[in-house]
Amino acid sequence: MTRRISRQLRIGKLTVGGDAPIVVQSMTKTDTHDIPATINQIKELEDCGCEIVRVAVPDKEAAGSLATIKKSVSLPIIADIHFDYRLALGALKAGVDGLRLNPGNIGDKEQVARVVAAAKEREVPIRIGVNAGSLPASFQPKTPLAKRMVSMALEQIRLMESLDFDLIKVSLKAFDVPTTIRAYQMIADKMPYPLHLGVTEAGLPRTGAVRSAIGIGVLLYQGIGDTIRVSLSAHPCEEVFVAYEILKSLGLRQRGPTLVSCPSCGRAEVDIIALAEAVSKRLEKIARPVKVAVMGCVVNGPSEAKDADVGLACGKGKGAIFRKGKVVGTVGKERFLEAIMTEIDKTA
Ligand code: SF4
């Protein structure tokens, strides 16, 4: 996996792009006018591992809320702006760490220039956030969608560059996964800026996680992408969880435990599904990276258990417990859960 090296920029205290770790983003789902609820959700997001949070700014009052929100949290905040460039100016005044502008609905060059001037003065990056759903119908109507998205982003990039502004990040999101992948692939070598990846409106957690994992995962595997956001119809911490699972699956980031569990089959010596769920529940309380294997029989059990930090390979009514590749005991099935957790504690 050779990573595309993009131009680095700072978003608040975070470095994005270049060889910096791929950053996990999410978005608040509270009403931005409800300042306490939005602050609480940002704090929840910080606790579950989110590194940058985007906040919707639908109107002037919401832009006015940002100053208080910003002062009360430590995560970098990106203001999400559509339609009205004055909201971007308000957000910048409130002290946000980044802007997301949708060129599909803020296209007026003068208006963009005013936002760019204010962002430049404060050294605040702008994400050019193209979304397939909000491309104007009149924009290159005969061109394939992915190419239209790329053209719109490049147009906006050229405009910002002509204003001597290069604190740029780009995203090209669509619901359709192949369109999303094609768009990012196309733009990757046409400009030097960091790419924020996402499959938009991906849906409820099960289907949305799969769509996002395929779209974001294919691109990351090709070395494309500097920040990611998984868009789910769910609490934003679900998005963060899935984002880290994608990064962990590709070996790009480590965070929290990894559970290896066999799917179970007619050879299983115990109810492996119930046991894996119980272990998973207990692992939620652990923040450090630890690999745990729960395996139903001797077919693949010993090798996977040996490969994990802590593993269980089940046999008839009992199982071998492994720690760091060595068998450390044999326990009866009624003690599996406790024995696994005891060994996990010993790896701390
Ligand atoms: Fe079946 Fe054993 Fe494989 Fe689990 S480890 S899926 S029980 S063969």
* Whether residue 273 has its Cβ less than 6 Å from ligand 1: no
pLDDT of residue 202: 87
Place of tokens 């003690």: 335
pLDDT digits (tens, 9 = 90+) for 123-176: 999 999 999 999 989 999 999 999 999 999 999 999 999 999 999 999 999 999
- Separation CA 29–CA 27 (nearest Å): 6
* Whether residue 198 has its Cβ less than 6 Å from ligand 1: no
Compute how many other C-beta atoms are within 10 angstroms of the C-beta atom of residue 170.
26
Residues in the chain: 348
pLDDT of residue 34: 98
pLDDT of residue 285: 87
pLDDT of residue 288: 92
Q: Which amino acid is at 146?
A: A
Place of tokens 């940058």: 52
Please state the pTM of the whole predicted model.
0.94
pLDDT of residue 10: 97
* Whether residue 264 has its Cβ less than 6 Å from ligand 1: yes
- Separation CA 237–CA 282 (nearest Å): 18
Q: Which of 270, 275, 295 to mutate to test the pocket of ligand 1 (most atoms within 8 A of CB)?
A: 295
Compute how many other C-beta atoms are within 10 angstroms of the C-beta atom of residue 145.
16
Classify residue 102 as left (phi > 0), alpha (psi -120 to 50) or beta: beta
**Residue numbers in the chain where pLDDT is lower than 50:** none
pLDDT of residue 1: 83
pLDDT of residue 220: 98
Nearest atom of ligand 1 to the alpha carbon of 300: 5
* Whether residue 140 has its Cβ less than 6 Å from ligand 1: no
pLDDT of residue 191: 98
* Whether residue 262 has its Cβ less than 6 Å from ligand 1: yes
- Separation CA 309–CA 287 (nearest Å): 15
pLDDT of residue 182: 98
CB-side neighbour CA atoms (13 Å) of 175 = 8
Domains in the chain (CATH in brackets) are: 9-249 (3.20.20.20), 258-346 (3.30.413.10)
What is the CA(213)–ligand 1 centre distance, in A?
Answer: 25
pLDDT of residue 287: 87
pLDDT of residue 240: 97
pLDDT digits (tens, 9 = 90+) for 11-54: 999 999 999 999 999 999 999 999 999 999 999 999 999 999 99
